Structure 1
Amino acid sequence: MDTPAFPLAGLRVLLADAGQRRSPVIRLELIRLRCQLVDVLDLVAEPHALGSALQRMAPELLLIDCEQPTPEMLAQLAVAQLQRPRPVLMVAEQMTPEQMRAALRAGASALQLAGLPPQRLGALLQLALARFEHDQALQMDLRQTQTQLAERKLVERARGILMREQGLDEEAAFQRLRQLAMTGGQTMASVAARLIDADQLLRHR
């Protein structure tokens, strides 16, 4: 038997039950999968408790079982995911295409429609974990690309300042920035930012 890519044994799961009354069945299946159910949150009795419960219990995965996601639920989920992202499996009896898009934008990792067959819970948890890891990797790549682009723009601006103030050509100005960075043990971007700040101060005198 192959070892699952994402082991479920010991996985800390918070179940948010919005009146579907499936929590006993889900609880039994989580026990069979050897997950750790940290609590069952009743979203009918406590419709605004999702954010505080996630912060207090810090589960590794959130499982939401609902008739259909409400705007209030998705708003709480979006805020919680910004504060501390985690895999989210959302099970709903029905969802419009717009509700699906809204749930994904709010941070749901995997969606299951028309109920939850207990025998599929393990596979759905695996899917939520895999999708979450994939999305996090994409976001990290995007942040790195944005940082590199911003740093490149700083270097270009600083090079322009050196060309203007010291009469250097493009290559000489670039080499000058590199030399300053190596001498000071800094990145070219940090040297460029300091040079731009100094130029702006001089120009506003």
Structure 2
Amino acid sequence: MDTPPFPLPGLRVLLADAGQRRSPVIRLELIRLRCQLVDVLDLVAEPDALALTLARQAPELLLIDCEQPTPALLAQLSEAQARQPRPVLLVAEQMSSAQMRAALQAGVSALQLAGLPPQRLGALLQLALARFEHDQALHAELRHTQTQLAERKLVERARGILMREQGLDEEAAFQRLRQLAMTGGQTLASVASRLIDADQLLRPRQ
């Protein structure tokens, strides 16, 4: 039998229960899957405690069981995900398409509608973990691309300064930047940023 890509034994799960009375069934299935249920948060008794409980318990996955996700719940989830992203499985009896979009935007990794068949919980946890890893990889790639673009713009600005101040052509200005970076053991972007700062400092104010 193949090993699951995301092993569930030992997975720290926080269950946020909004009065659906499924927590005993979910508890038993998590035990069968050998997950670690760190806490059960009663969202009816403590509707505003989600972010605080997540910060205190630091689960590896959040499982929310509700009739339908309210704007207040999704706002709390969005705030918590901004602080510390984690996989989120949302189980709801009903959701409109607008609620689904809002849930995904708030950081939900996987959705399950119309109840939670216990035998499906393992697969849904795997789906939430996989989707979360995929989304995190995409975000990391986007941040890397944005950083590269910003650094390229810095290098272009610095090269323009060298061309203007030292009368160099594009290639010579770029080679000068490379030489400065190698001599100082710095990146091209770091040297370019310092050069831009110096140029702005020394340039006469108009």
TM-score after normalising by structure 2: 0.98
Structure 2 unaligned spans of 5+: none
Off by >6 Å, runs of 4+ in structure 1: none
User: How big is each residue's C-alpha offset from its partner over 1:43-88, in whole Å with a ceiling of 9 and x where there is no partner?
Assistant: 0000000000000000000000000000110011001101110000
The aligned residue for residue 193 of structure 1 is 193
Shift of 1:182: 0.4
2:64 aligns to what? 64
Q: Which residue of 2 aligns with 1:119?
A: 119
Q: Match of 1:130?
A: 130
Write the letter of the residue equivalent to 1:121. Answer: L
Q: CA deviation at 1:146?
A: 0.4
RMSD (Å) for aligned C-alpha atoms: 0.6
Encode CA deviations 1:118-147: one digit per residue, 9 max, x unaligned. Answer: 000000000000000000000000000000
Q: Residue 154 of structure 2 aligns to a residue in which SS? A: helix
Question: Residue 175 of structure 2: SS of its match in structure 1?
Answer: helix
SS in structure 1 opposite 2:115?
Answer: coil
Residue 102 of structure 1 corresponds to which residue in structure 2?
Answer: 102
Residue type at the aligned position of 1:143:
R
2:144 matched residue in structure 1: 144
Opposite residue 42 of structure 2, the aligned amino acid is D
* Aligned residue in 1 for 2:173: 173
Letter in 2 for 1:86: R
**CA positional deviation for 1:203:** 1.5
Q: Report the CA distance between 1:204 and its aligned residue.
A: 4.2
Q: Secondary structure at the match of 1:41?
A: strand
1:136-192 CA distance string (max 9 Å, x none):
000000000000000000000000000000000000000000000000000000000
Corresponding residue SS for 1:39: strand
In 1, Cα distance between equivalents of 2:68 and 2:165: 63
Q: In 1, distance between residues paired with 2:203 and 2:113?
A: 61
Equivalent residue for 1:49? 49
CA distance in structure 1 between the aligned counterparts of 2:184 and 2:15, rounded to whole angstroms: 53
Q: Where does structure 1 lack aligned partners over 5 or more consecutive residues?
A: none
Tell me how far apart the structure 2 counterparts of residues 12 and 191 of structure 1 sit (CA, whole Å). 45
Tell me the residue number matched to 1:73: 73
CA distance in 1, matches of 2:49, 2:193: 44
Return the alpha-carbon distance in structure 1 between the equivalents of residues 40 and 185 of structure 2: 53
Q: TM-score, normalised by structure 1?
A: 0.99
SS at match of 1:16: strand
1:164 aligns to what SS in structure 2?
helix
**Which residue of structure 2 lines up, in the alignment, with residue 8 of structure 1?**
8
* SS of corresponding position for 1:65: strand
SS in 1 for 2:85: coil
Q: CA deviation at 1:115?
A: 0.5
In structure 2, how many angstroms separate the alpha carbons of the residues matched to 1:130 and 1:172? 48
How many residue pairs align between the two structures?
A: 205
Residue type of the partner of 2:11?
Answer: L
